[in-house]
Chains A and B, each alone.
Chain A
């Protein structure tokens, strides 16, 4: 904790020093950034907070000493639109996976209802704007893994009807019809059924999320989908060469069809140095994870806490490097340089990943706005990155859904 604070102070001082000589004073930029950030729709496409809701003791309305998201911190960080992830392990399939997914959807809906003064369930770009106009935080839902469909296309319609607005085609394991980037290919991308799933998602206005999927699955989905794709929480492979990240070619192909990549803040995906160091201790880590799973059972929050503790120990022991939050800016900037400002956004992976130093939780989000402004980004471009780009894709998805549904 102390080390993090020291790091923060150092970077702030450094930034202040750098900008002293310019015409605009640091304070002016800070003020402009603050104003810009808190007047923008800041839309994050991936947080695993429902896992914390499952504990039964978690209250989204209370400031929590742990985790990355709660209403007070969302307010503090100007985070006013959030996709909560519906997630269960990819090893659970069939009707049990469906029922567990329903339970998590219900949990999110219950939490929104319970905090109706602060939160509003949103399913369209328009509803997000309306919530913002009312000073409420828009809550949306995404399903992280096609295995929750029970291999039944009809579930696309059921989930859509319950408010789900994107589905990640696979998680860490292949599902019945799509290959994952972190499993051995079994389907050569998308099966024919998988292609029909994508078509039905288009028809239902459910965004096709290609985070987690294999490169071949990505290209198959890109070919089939009539709506731009999103990567709800993936970063740049050119910076950290992880299969969960996207290559420059993939980013170009994604954006050529109007899609958007939402940068993931997980240290492994942000930093090549960290990724390599982590790979070196991965054997130890997976042994420890087996141990955590035994101790925690199905309690993903318990497993998450144990993992955070382990990573902190490894970092303190010098086995894992520190990763600064500024790496997030580096990833955003890489995409902007590659394809322009219309195709990148924020997909934190809050409450589901290990955050870099300086972006410990959602209250720190205004730093992203300020850093982009200091890099010389226009206010208009920053608003796009904060949420405008993903809102554009949502609106396009809604338009196409109407068109497809009105077709005979």
Chain B
């Protein structure tokens, strides 16, 4: 079913661009060349959850989910941040322990697939990996609750290779408010500001996806290095608190930061969001079905959540969202924040993907459509990864400077 629709889309694209050399997937030679010579960085993927049951093998093409080595190769994905994640309700030493286990799971996958993958912790290491024809794997911690209010734990994470931390997840943590919880700290607490300063010193990027608007502004004021939104989209297009307002994006860009567009249909499309809101029973039904299929296997929950949502769309119960919505968000962010301040933060394996962007193999289409829209090759490269690499380099520079001042 999904495949048939894709073919239809490809035929349409072929028709439009008859003049250009075009393959069946709707990606021109020019786009292909550009895409596969660029460093494509994705700052947010939840594939780590799939590693935890011990059965999933990143090296084998999977019929479910969005990410594995064959599909990353096919989609020219050159660098991927694997997310270390657990629900906000898990706190204390148990959260620390579970984060370590996930960090180890990612590191072990990299070790097992060392012909294809290499752990990277700097922009230079990503570039080196690209030169060697390897995919750079990076680590991001999605939620400040995992440090258990302990800077020693933050430093340990950094020593283990973690290069960004999202200040909160869906719930507030002990020192920062989330965009999807009732504000209790009025943004960042004093300790929260210390966390930002220590992240700056360690060269761990401050990720403001998921945080409340006030937390964002507090972090922006405190951080000496540019911020990233590892997986957030534009609120002007889809009014979700998880997305950024135009003003927030301008302010983020004003300090050199970058917003990495999230492909989740609920953040891309106002229509989809409204449909979910007006029919809360749908979400409950989807959740119930997910629990039925997965119990407490979080990797399974994320994958099945996407699959079941698709089923509802196919039945006409939720609107169909096309991948072109991603381009719309990129284009909007570019117009508001500037070409130097937008990138890709898919949320693959952790969200509901739009039609035409089912998995990593589809990423070259982004390059194709941006070229079609008239973006220069240099600008497309920036969006695909160079903007993120610039922020990483700057974060590393600030870290060196702060350590030298010690």
Binding site for B on A (CB under 8 A): 94-96, 98-99, 102-103, 105-107, 109-110, 114, 150, 152, 154-155, 157-158, 161-163, 405
B93 touches A107 (CB 8 A): no
Distance in angstroms between the alpha carbons of A105 and B104 in the assembled complex: 17
Other-chain contact of B153, A102, A110, A114 (Cβ < 8 Å): A102
Per the bound structure, the CA–CA distance linking A162 and B158 in Å amounts to 10
Q: Find out whether the CB atom of B160 lies under 8 angstroms from the CB atom of A161.
A: yes
Mostly, the A contact residues are helix
- Contact of A94 with B93 in the complex, beta carbons under 8 Å: yes
Q: Choose one: B96, B101, B108, B153; the contact of A152 (CB below 8 Å).
A: B101
Task: Name the B residues within 8 Å of A103 (CB-CB).
Answer: 150, 152-153
In the complex, what's the smallest C-beta–C-beta distance from B320 to chain A, in angstroms? 42
Report whether A157 and B104 are in contact in the complex, using a CB–CB cutoff of 8 Å: yes
Instruction: Give me 8 A-to-B residue pairs in the complex whose CB atoms sit less than 8 angstroms apart, sorted by A's number.
Output: A98-B96, A103-B150, A106-B153, A152-B101, A155-B100, A158-B103, A162-B160, A405-B111
Contact between A95 and B92 (Cβ–Cβ < 8 Å)? yes
Whether B156 lies near A102 (C-beta < 8 A) is yes
Cβ contacts under 8 Å, B406 to chain A? 114
- The 10 A-B pairs at the shortest CB distance, nearest first, are namely A95-B93, A106-B152, A95-B97, A103-B152, A99-B93, A154-B104, A102-B156, A96-B93, A95-B94, A99-B96
Q: Which residues of B contact A152 (CB under 8 A)?
A: 97, 101
Pair B96/A95 contact, Cβ less than 8 Å: yes
A154 touching B93 by the CB < 8 A rule? Answer: no
- C-alpha spacing A203/B284, complex, angstroms: 47
B 91-118 contacts with A by CB, 8 A: 92-94, 96-97, 100-101, 103-104, 107-108, 111
Most A-side CB within 10 Å, residue of B97, B101, B107, B148: B97
Contacts of B93 in A (CB 8 A): 94-96, 98-99
For A109, the chain B residues whose CB sits under 8 A away are 155, 159
Cβ 8 A contact of B97, one of A98, A114, A157: A98
A99 touching B153, Cβ below 8 Å: yes
Instruction: Give the chain A neighbours of B159 by CB distance below 8 A.
Output: 109, 161-163
- B100's partner among A158, A163, A405 (CB-CB below 8 A) is A158
Q: A154 contacts B100, CB within 8 Å?
A: yes
Q: Which B residues are in CB contact (< 8 Å) with A163?
A: 159
Give bound CA distance, A109 to B148, whole Å: 19
Among A98, A105, A106, A152, chain B packs the most CB atoms within 10 A around the CB of: A106
Which of under 10, 10 to 19, 20 to 34, or 35 or more describes the interface residues of B? 20 to 34
Instruction: Give the distance to chain A from B187, nearest Cβ to Cβ, in Å.
Output: 27
B152 & A107 in contact (Cβ 8 Å cutoff):
yes
Residue of A nearest to B96 (CB): A99
Q: Which of A99, A110, A155, A158 interacts with B148 by CB under 8 Å?
A: A99
With A162-B159, A162-B160 as known contacts, state yes or no: A154 contacts B153, CB within 8 Å. no
Partner of A158, one of B104, B150, B152: B104
CA distance A179 to B18 in the complex (A): 75
Residue of B nearest to A155 (CB): B100
State the Cβ distance, B91 to closest chain A Cβ, in Å: 11
Query: In the assembled complex, which residues on chain B have CB atoms less than 8 Å from the CB atom of A102?
Result: 96, 152-153, 156
B286 CB to nearest chain A CB (Å): 32
Complex Cα distance, B152 from A282, in Å, reads 38
Known: A103-B152, A158-B104, A162-B160. 11 other contacts (CB 8 A): A95-B96, A98-B96, A99-B150, A99-B153, A102-B152, A106-B153, A154-B104, A158-B100, A158-B160, A161-B160, A163-B159
Closest B residue to A157 by beta carbon equals B104
Least CB distance from B86 to A in Å reads 13
How far is the CB of B113 from the nearest CB of chain A, in Å?
13
**How does the 8 Å CB contact mask read for B115-128 relative to A, with 1 for contact and 0 for none?**
00000000000000
When distances are taken between beta carbons in the complex, the residues of chain B under 8 Å from A162 are 156, 159-160
Bound CA span A106–B93, Å: 16
Asked if residues B156 and A105 are in contact (CB atoms below 8 Å), the reply is: yes
How far, in angstroms, from A152 to B103 measured CA to CA in the complex? 14
Inter-chain CA distance A107–B159, complex, in Å, is 13
Report B237 CB to chain A, min CB distance, Å. Answer: 41
List the A residue with the shortest CB-CB distance to B97.
A95
Q: Which residues of B sit under 8 angstroms from A155, Cβ to Cβ? A: 100
Q: What is the bound-complex CA distance between A94 and B92, given in angstroms? A: 12
Nearest CB in chain A to that of B102: its residue = A154
What is the minimal beta-carbon distance from A202 to any residue of chain B, in angstroms? 16
CA distance A105 to B100 in the complex (A): 14
Query: How many Å from the CB of A199 to the closest CB on chain B?
Result: 15
A161 touches B107 (CB 8 A): yes
Return chain B residues, CB-CB under 8 Å to A95: 92-94, 96-97
Nearest-Cβ distance from residue B197 to partner chain A, whole angstroms: 15
User: CB distance A98 to B155 under 8 Å?
Assistant: no
Smallest CB gap from A110: residue in B: B155
Smallest beta-carbon distance A396→chain B, Å? 22
Contact among B101, B108, B155 for A106, CB-based, below 8 A: B155
B residues less than 8 Å from A106 (CB atoms): 152-153, 155-156
Question: Within the complex, what minimum Cβ distance (angstroms) separates A154 from chain B?
Answer: 5
The answer to whether B152 touches A98 (Cβ under 8 A) is: no
What chain A residues lie within 8 Å of B148 (beta carbons)? 99
Provide the B163-189 mask, 1 if CB < 8 A to any CB of A, else 0: 000000000000000000000000000
With a cutoff of 8 Å between Cβ atoms, the chain B residues found around residue A150 in the complex are: 97
Chain A residues with Cβ under 8 A from B104's Cβ?
A: 154, 157-158
Interface centre among B108, B152, B153, B406 (most CB of A within 10 A): B152
Q: For residue A105, which residues in chain B have a CB less than 8 angstroms away from its CB?
A: 156
Residues of A within 8 A of B92 (CB): 95
